[in-house]
Amino acid sequence: MPADRVPPAGPRRPTAADGVLVVDKPAGWTSHDVVARLRRLAATRKVGHAGTLDPMATGVLVVGVGRATRLLAYLSGADKAYDATLRLGVATLTDDAEGEVVAVADASGVTRAAIEAGARALSGPILQVPAAVSAIKVAGERAYARVRAGEAVQLAARPVTVSRFEVLATRPAVGPGGVPALDVDVRVECSSGTYVRALARDLGAGLGVGGHLTALRRTRVGGFTLAVARTLDELAAEPDHRPLPVLPLADAARATFPARELTATEAAELGYGRPIDPGPGEANLAADPAGGRVGPLAAIGPDGTLVALVEPRGGRLHPTVVFAPA
């Protein structure tokens, strides 16, 4: 964390309850910086995040506290939405504004119609080559570490789904050496694992002028939106004598997964790690028509607490993680 952002020592705040914080991450902070700050505010080291945002990016970062950290692996797989600005006419090593410029081309002749056609070609189920400077591991080492060591890294394409790639606005810009460039504001909705930087790169490549990402704001992760996000300053302003307010486990699970209301007997069975019988039509509730997995169900007890996440398997609902042991 930057030295000027390290908070002064003070009285210890009471430990926060198990739950989720939706943070509006500021620019210039890593996701780890945010977690480190929230460990102090929540008065516990058991804090983690569901999906990294690059330092240049802002917006929704879902953070788990206490037992909610066990939800993060499931929340990280939720679909996401972004508002972004792409610059056409300039390609960079990292596919974003923080990387070295590797190619420049005059983009003044690129029309909005051509940009929209290029965005359509990158929509739907596609195979995307991730940005080389990414956290993906290659032979046990992060790709970005290999690139920064001077190694040429070529990552394998992977299937992602871009459900929305909308061009909002275009405007002239100036690239290195005064070469005409074009800035494009877009709105993207996509599956987990999609790189908006790679969309910028591939859109520019398809138009023959190159491109990179200059601004990124994540507006949604699953059911968590900017409307419920709080800034770090707002969270730090909470009274020191009270625990940091969090979204309860059950509410956080309901925001992302279909809910399954339990009887007391079913809650006890799941608490022991035992499967329960599904209700009418529930055996396939977590599977889409094409056979892909959408996600687990949030099993909610009669008292409104999250008992477990369950998945249909073999005609029964099996707990994948139990939050309320019997």
* Bridge partner list, 81: 189, 220
Q: Report d(CA 181, CA 88) in Å as an integer.
A: 6
Q: Give SS3 for 53.
A: coil
| H helices present in 28-183, as ranges | 31-42, 72-75, 112-121, 143-148
Q: At a CB cut-off of 8 Å and minimum separation 6, what does 228 contact?
A: 22, 247
Number of H helices, E strands in the chain: 8, 18
56 in helix, strand or coil? coil
Q: Taking a C-beta distance cutoff of 8 angstroms, is the pair 144, 134 a contact?
A: yes
Q: Which residues are catalytic?
A: 54
Residue labelled with tokens 């279909």: 258
